[in-house]
Structure 1
Amino acid sequence: MALLSIIVPVYNTEKYLPRCLDSIIGQSLKDIEIICIDDGSTDSSPVILQNYAKKDSRIHIIRKPNGGLVSARKAGVREAKGKYIGYVDSDDWIDPTMYETLYNCAESNQADMVSSGYFFEGNYITAHYDGVPEGLYDAKSIGSLREKAIYNVETRDVGIRGSLCCKLFLAEKFRAVQLSIPEEISMSEDKLCVISFLLSCSRVYVQWKAFYHYIIHRESMVNMPDCRYLLKVNAVYQYLITLYGHPLFTKGMRLQAELYITEMLYKGINSRLGFENRDLFWVDPYWLNGIPYGSKVALYGAGGLGHAYKRQLGNRGDLTYAGCTDFGWEKFKGDPMGVIPPEDLPQTGYDVLVITIKNPGKAQEVRRQLEGIGIPGHKILWFEQKEIYWKYAEVNGWIK
């Protein structure tokens, strides 16, 4: 029996599949089986899989008609013979020591699940970790972890990250949970699986280390309008309802589940339903109070937040818009905000430069980059913007 079964669902990812497989084959933990599920691919992915299987006997290929991600994962779980189970999506890749690190952590702590961080790689790279303290959650503390399965209400952040791909699961406990996820669910299936498994776990270890690399593609389905989005949200909600009667599923978890559905609806209007009028993007104008009287204000970032800030500048007649800049300025060519490279921003043309990025970590990274090219730190400002669904929860008294 292998120490670990790595399950790789594959569907039309010929451009990315070789890098994915190379990163798995190159793992420092060698006693693994690699189960690749060809979910009805119509490109050259099946040929790529076959060629890799000829070179590495640890690779096993399962071929099936297209049935979606949950169906493919179930097929892999049924065949998995390892003590532990892990997942890698076929358009992503992993660091060489990922599974050795997670395996050693699971063994030394007798953990049913080990959760780690991941990198998002798109226009820029950001690291993401679970929004709970690092360490072991055992019989005395696992209840507090379940209360943060979706959100950490205290910090207004996520709790346990939903992705299955940055985690390791004890197979004998996890298999039944994965097989219980309905195949018609095609959104948030990872999150639902994690929530369900936490109800079965007795020991979980959280690591604030990142090994997994999520690659963001413009052609990705999550970036495309979807007229069936509301039906998919309803499928998620219907599954969550089945958990409400579980003895370990608390009232607090239910409130978080309902807030999660609210978040999905909010994000759907903004980016998934294909609405013409889609900017349900409430931006607190409090930031204007932090701008000195009569300032010339330059903005960093020409996304939705940047455009909202520019509109709100008009609420103060004493302020002047001094232009917009972005290190990725080339992708904003033709934008009405007139985006230029930060190096071309004249020092005398503005009094303050406001970073219009929600993510605090990314905002700090941009601040360091701006200071690195000589922009004075005292001129650079950033203001926190809470998501609208947190405001919704506060107004309704769900959270304080």
Structure 2
Amino acid sequence: MNPIKISVIVPIYRIEDYLPKCIESLLQQSFKDFELILVDDGSPDNCPKICDDYAKLDQRVKVIHKPNGGLLSARKAGLDAALGTHIAYVDGDDWVDHFYLDTLYKLAVANDADLAVTGHFREFDGKIETIKPNNPGFYNEERIKSEILPNAIYNGEFCEHGMSTYVWNKLFKKELLIKVLYDISNDVVMGEDAAITYSYLAISKQLVISKIPLYYYRQRHDSIVKSVEDPKTEYYRLGLLMNFLKTKLSPVLDKYNLDKQITYYLYSQILVRSGGLTYNQQKDSWFNPFLKTTKDSKVVVYSSGSFGQHILSTNLKTDYFKIIKWIDVDFHDLKIGENTVNPISSISNNEFDYLIIATINPSTHKSLKEELELMGIDSSKIVKIDTDITKIQNLIEDLGFDQNFIFTKKTN
């Protein structure tokens, strides 16, 4: 009888400062019947040695050294070697609660669930935020298809997921994961987790969602800043993801609902990666999604996360807005151009025309807007993102995506 119930797979690349804490948190689990598969994806730092050292200390640790092939290839390599009936994925720069595996496994077994989902903690610069799913409970196949999948990617509020994309707060059955993971092209390097989660959900018959937070997700500002590549390359990659989702979800969702979910998801990803402003070559003009704002508007940008950083980086190139200040409640040392992050208490109404909250999540937008209003900021100056579906569809078509969300304009 196979004693291994869970295979924990950790893809590893350039995270030597964080990896020991991750591994220690897993080896100290209250749940014992697991193996830990460390997948060194050709990491050029000290990670390979760290992996090997832990393997010498604990027989539960299995190490795979492979040439760099990206996150999906590492996840696949781990699955190839897995002996457990269930699979958990953990990112090597994060860490987990002492009862992470125990709770996930009991949730899965007690409900005979194909997928178990929990809450998580978000850690940033020493601050920890608890994030819990909005829809806890047990779902059979009928409810998955009628309640979960129609709102999984886009829940009716731009652009909030009904089911989180992350794979690390979930426990999968190996026999089902095998059916979807290998179908995902390794060229999908944007939204890899979404490709796994949503395609797996489409073949799940029983689902359990718990509010218990068990996973510590480390939000690293040094991991966010990435130079935006040639837009055509990025659109091609996004098209791979969106077309894959359409293919896998078409059997379980009606075309109208599926196309709407993917349209909003694609739009949100284009916005984040482009810093909001998107050059529309067909119309030889910039598409500005921030309602009320115009070129040369004096703007304050709230959020130093991925979207906020891309807004600052894009504006350096386009000089579209006059960015007066960059603020965040998660105040930390970060600079883009001449702008550094300031605390939210540093602004006053007479300094700016509009304030952009750099988030595509409506719940986050609402919460931050309320905090700003309590600080005396004029609510009429806090802008929203344009979510007119017709404008979005026209933009996506003009950029070069076809009806199946494939990017048809080839890269240079």
TM-score by length of 1: 0.75
Give the Cα separation in 2 of the matches to 1:115 and 1:222.
Answer: 29
Match of 1:45 in 2: 47
Give the Cα separation in 1 of the matches to 2:369 and 2:32.
Answer: 39
Q: Out of 94, 97, 115, which is 1:95 matched to? A: 97
Give the Cα separation in 2 of the matches to 1:235 and 1:29.
Answer: 38
Give the Cα separation in 2 of the matches to 1:302 and 1:139.
Answer: 39
Give the Cα separation in 2 of the matches to 1:167 and 1:105.
Answer: 10
Match of 2:258 in 1: 253
Letter of the aligned partner of 2:212 in structure 1?
K
Match of 2:274 in 1: 269
Letter of the aligned partner of 1:266 in structure 2?
L
Give the Cα separation in 2 of the matches to 1:333 and 1:223.
Answer: 12
Match of 1:233 in 2: 238
Match of 2:197 in 1: 194
Match of 1:319 in 2: none
Contact persistence 2:355–2:383 (CA under 8 A): no
- Compared CA separation, residues 218 and 50, structure 1 to 2 (3 A): same
Give the Cα separation in 1 of the matches to 2:337 and 2:67.
Answer: 44
Give the Cα separation in 1 of the matches to 2:327 and 2:185.
Answer: 46
* TM-aligned CA deviation for residue 88 of structure 1: 0.6
Cα deviation 1:200-223 (Å, max 9, x = unaligned): 100011222332222233443763
- Compared CA separation, residues 329 and 217, structure 1 to 2 (3 A): closer
Match of 2:399 in 1: none
Match of 1:216 in 2: 219
Match of 1:20 in 2: 22
Which SS does the other structure have where 1:15 is aligned? Answer: coil
Match of 1:392 in 2: 389
Give the Cα separation in 2 of the matches to 1:59 and 1:115.
Answer: 25
* TM-aligned CA deviation for residue 240 of structure 1: 3.1
Give the Cα separation in 1 of the matches to 2:270 and 2:301.
Answer: 28
Match of 1:290 in 2: none
Cα deviation 1:111-154 (Å, max 9, x = unaligned): 10012233333356544444x52111113311121112211116
Which SS does the other structure have where 1:96 is aligned? Answer: coil
Q: Out of 117, 120, 145, which is 1:118 matched to? A: 120
Task: Trace 1:1-400 onto structure 2 (pairs within 5 A).
Answer: 1-122=3-124, 125-130=128-133, 132-144=134-146, 145-153=148-156, 157-220=160-223, 223-227=226-230, 228-243=233-248, 246-251=250-255, 252-270=257-275, 282-285=289-292, 301=302, 328=331, 331=334, 357=357, 358=359, 360-361=363-364, 364=367, 377=374, 379=376, 386-388=384-386, 390-392=387-389
TM-score by length of 2: 0.73
Range that drifts further, 159-168 or 174-183: 174-183
Which SS does the other structure have where 1:261 is aligned? Answer: helix
Cα deviation 1:230-261 (Å, max 9, x = unaligned): 221122234234336x4223221232123322
Give the Cα separation in 2 of the matches to 1:52 and 1:274.
Answer: 49
Larger Rg: 1
Contact persistence 2:132–2:213 (CA under 8 A): yes
Give the Cα separation in 2 of the matches to 1:77 and 1:334.
Answer: 43
Give the Cα separation in 1 of the matches to 2:136 and 2:68.
Answer: 38
- Compared CA separation, residues 46 and 344, structure 1 to 2 (3 A): closer
Give the Cα separation in 2 of the matches to 1:334 and 1:67.
Answer: 32
Contact persistence 1:142–1:204 (CA under 8 A): yes
Letter of the aligned partner of 1:168 in structure 2?
L
Contact persistence 1:269–1:279 (CA under 8 A): no
Range that drifts further, 327-336 or 9-18: 327-336
* TM-aligned CA deviation for residue 90 of structure 1: 1.1
Contact persistence 1:223–1:272 (CA under 8 A): no
Indicate the RMSD between aligned Cα atoms, in angstroms: 4.4
Cα deviation 1:298-334 (Å, max 9, x = unaligned): 98948669999xxxxx9xxxxxxx9997652764799
Letter of the aligned partner of 2:253 in structure 1?
F
Cα deviation 1:168-212 (Å, max 9, x = unaligned): 111222222112212222111110111111121000112223322
Give the Cα separation in 2 of the matches to 1:28 and 1:274.
Answer: 52
Contact persistence 2:290–2:356 (CA under 8 A): no
Which SS does the other structure have where 1:223 is aligned? Answer: coil
Contact persistence 2:278–2:287 (CA under 8 A): no
Give the Cα separation in 1 of the matches to 2:269 and 2:205.
Answer: 29
Match of 2:296 in 1: none
Number of residue pairs matched?
Answer: 366
Structure 1 runs not aligned, ≥5 long: 287-297, 309-313, 315-321, 371-375
* TM-aligned CA deviation for residue 81 of structure 1: 1.4
Contact persistence 2:277–2:289 (CA under 8 A): no
* TM-aligned CA deviation for residue 92 of structure 1: 1.5
Structure 2 runs not aligned, ≥5 long: 294-298, 316-321, 395-412
